[in-house]
Structure 1
Amino acid sequence: MQGPSTTPPFPVFYPSSEVSIRHLPVNLFASVMGLSGLALAWRLARDSLGAPALVGEAIGAFAWGVFVLVSLGYLAKLAKHPQAVHAEFHHPVAGNFFGTIVISILLLSAVAEPYSAPAARAVWTVGVLATFALSFVVVSRLLKGQVDASHAVPAWLIPGVATLDIAVTGGHMPMAWAAEVNLLAGAVGAVLALVLFAMIVSRLVHQDPLAPGMTPSLMILVAPFAVGFLAYSNIVGGIDRFGALLFYFALFMFAVVAPKVFRPSVKFSAAWWAIGFPMAALVNAALKYAAFRASGPLWALATVLLGALSLAMVVLTVRTVRIALNGKLFT
């Protein structure tokens, strides 16, 4: 058995505690993913549970605002400290979090669709191209060989989940080529997610536990199955028993990892945003499956999950604003 890796779970560029934009983490884009997923979930709740329409639309607008703000910050980091961005992108773990950018773009296209279909198609197309490019880079990097097995952490799933999100957000795109792109994305994302999921579980079983700061990323283990359910239902045009299997396994994984993640001993950092999108995907899946089954217990489950996700997003937003204002986000 290999001992603990000497490579830190996230890149360390400067040992000082100096407040600087160079320390802005790329995984902060996960906040956009969580907020966008929450907005889409409240839209589903509006249609199925009669929830106020204003809630989902306000959260969607806020997600767009956060995306613009974080993008400006990261562009400033790229302009002033390109070596820090280069090191982050090539890091064996942190590099996968660049997938949070492309997933954010894909989800925001769905948020924007009711307001401007042409704009949504343009944003989605940009997201598709960027997602396939990132997936190609990540897989090519893995296939070079000599990859430390201790680096097989839940963040590895992000590029695979990103390709599945193409089908999640592109199910209603009217372009003639969209259906084939969705099939391609489903194929790439499903195989990548299953292979990497097996590697990650093997690492978690046979090697040392994750560093405490990476504990929230365990929630990413839910994403391939919740997002897989949403992508599969869009590709086949409905929900069947295989889709139901994906949903129930996502629910099972959530029940397994939630007690490990939600512990007071895990200190807050931007890494906590890793819980947002997997939970949002599960909530959206629960709402769609409850509508399909028209079952009271399933509706109750979906409502509880929506409430838990909403509370989590409020807490994460408030605490992130707090560490941004006191400078800890940039140290």
Structure 2
Amino acid sequence: MQTITAVQKQKSIGSVQFLPVNLFASVMGISGLALAWRQASKLFGAPLVIADMIGIIAVLAFIILSIAYISKWVLYPQKVKAEFVHPIMGNFFGTITIAILLLSSVIGTYSHIVGQVVWVIGTVTTLVLCFIIVTRLLNGNIEHGHAVPAWLIPGVGTLDIAVAGGSMPFPWAHEVNLISLAIGGVVALIFLTMILSRLIHHAPMHSGLTPSMLIMIAPFEVGFLGYVNFEQRIDQFASILYYFGLFLFIVLFFKVFKKSIPFGASWWGVSFPLAALSNAALQYAMFVNSWLLIAVSAVILVVLNIALIVLFIRTLKALFNGNLLKG
């Protein structure tokens, strides 16, 4: 009877071989939410316990997903290989390395040493992955239809090195942050141009990829955070990055958030650019100290919380009804 029950449970939930790598974007979004609430504690006096609880959820989510995906790698290596070499899905492996970088900021609040170790791991893996993805693209024969916002993830990931490592005490951290900003900034600019050209001149993307359009605001908001952390000040260039990212978010909001788009793991792609926007808005509002910008940051934080709560609930529902891990 126990064997039959286990088989039925496996059939109802699905198989780990169908675990999508882009689900790691959830860790990015939840980590970003924890960091946003830490900023909100400075601006609005919000209790720090909120950020602490969300940070714990982010760490647990990463551990659970890592165990599950390593199991997939061990049991179904060909599935992982096929996902990695895929011209679109392969870019989502950047969500793993970026999640590690963001978790270094979450963990670093409680243990500087552990946070620094995690940051080093995230930095090395992010730079290596960016090298692999860019090298692969330069091999040529890339179809126009494969130029999608997911291309930005490995490039934006290098910007997150400076976001999480702006205060690292290592003597070489300054140059690593600088090279990361250089790589991320230029790669994001080139890829964004190609992606916009594809979106403007070719057929619309598959509806399942529509939520990933919000990733296009990430280079500007993550760039803002990385640049500010590196320079330790907000200047006019930083302001331009923030404001254009905010404008692009407003434009894309009405294209992405539609009931007609079916739910899937790809919806988590909206979480981390939205979290980056929220952190940037809070930080910029504290700098300018304008009631309007403070109100804007509050609205974005509310939108981020609602989005992640809905995504979390719908993901659990999809998991237990067997839709998340099915072929």
TM-score by length of 1: 0.94
Residue matched to 2:217: 222
* 1:208 and 2:203 matched: yes
List, as ranges, runs of 4+ consecutive aligned residues in structure 1 with deviation greater than 3 Å: none
Residue matched to 1:308: 303
User: How many residues get paired?
Assistant: 315
Structure 2 distance, partners of 1:150, 1:212, is 13
Residue matched to 1:176: 171
- Aligned equivalent of 1:90, options 85, 91, 94: 85
Aligned positions of 1:195-274 closer than 5 A:
195-274=190-269
Q: C-alpha deviations, 1:237-285, integer Å up to 9, x for none?
A: 1100010000000001100100011100001111100000000000000
Mapped contact 2:209–2:266 kept (Cα < 8 A): yes
Which runs of 5 or more structure 1 residues have no equivalent in the other structure?
1-16
Q: C-alpha deviations, 1:114-140, integer Å up to 9, x for none?
A: 111000000000000000000000010
1:221 to partner: Cα distance: 0.7
The amino acid of 2:14's aligned partner reads V
Residue matched to 2:30: 35
Q: C-alpha deviations, 1:159-181, integer Å up to 9, x for none?
A: 01100000000001111111110
**Percent of aligned pairs sharing the same letter:** 52
Structure 1 distance, partners of 2:103, 2:46, is 21
Structure 2 distance, partners of 1:317, 1:25, is 15
Question: 2:212 aligns to what SS in structure 1?
Answer: helix
Aligned positions of 1:42-121 closer than 5 A:
42-121=37-116
Residue matched to 1:191: 186
Structure 2 distance, partners of 1:148, 1:211, is 15
- Aligned equivalent of 1:26, options 21, 34, 39: 21
* 1:282 and 2:307 matched: no
1:18 to partner: Cα distance: 9.7
Structure 1 distance, partners of 2:79, 2:284, is 43
The amino acid of 1:105's aligned partner reads I
Residue matched to 1:6: none
Q: Which moved more, 1:19-28 or 1:97-106?
A: 19-28
1:150 to partner: Cα distance: 1.3
Q: Kindly report the root-mean-square deviation, in angstroms, between the aligned alpha carbons of the 2 structures.
A: 1.0
Mapped contact 2:211–2:256 kept (Cα < 8 A): yes
TM-score by length of 2: 0.95
Structure 1 distance, partners of 2:168, 2:43, is 22
Mapped contact 2:275–2:304 kept (Cα < 8 A): yes
Structure 2 distance, partners of 1:124, 1:327, is 35
Question: 1:329 aligns to what SS in structure 2?
Answer: coil
Mapped contact 2:13–2:320 kept (Cα < 8 A): no
The amino acid of 1:198's aligned partner reads T
Residue matched to 1:9: none
Aligned positions of 1:290-305 closer than 5 A:
290-305=285-300
Structure 1 distance, partners of 2:13, 2:191, is 36
The structure where helix makes up a greater share of residues is: 2
Residue matched to 1:128: 123
Structure 1 distance, partners of 2:141, 2:314, is 39
1:149 to partner: Cα distance: 1.7
Structure 1 distance, partners of 2:265, 2:109, is 30
The amino acid of 1:183's aligned partner reads L
Mapped contact 2:166–2:230 kept (Cα < 8 A): yes
Question: 1:208 aligns to what SS in structure 2?
Answer: coil
Structure 2 distance, partners of 1:251, 1:272, is 20
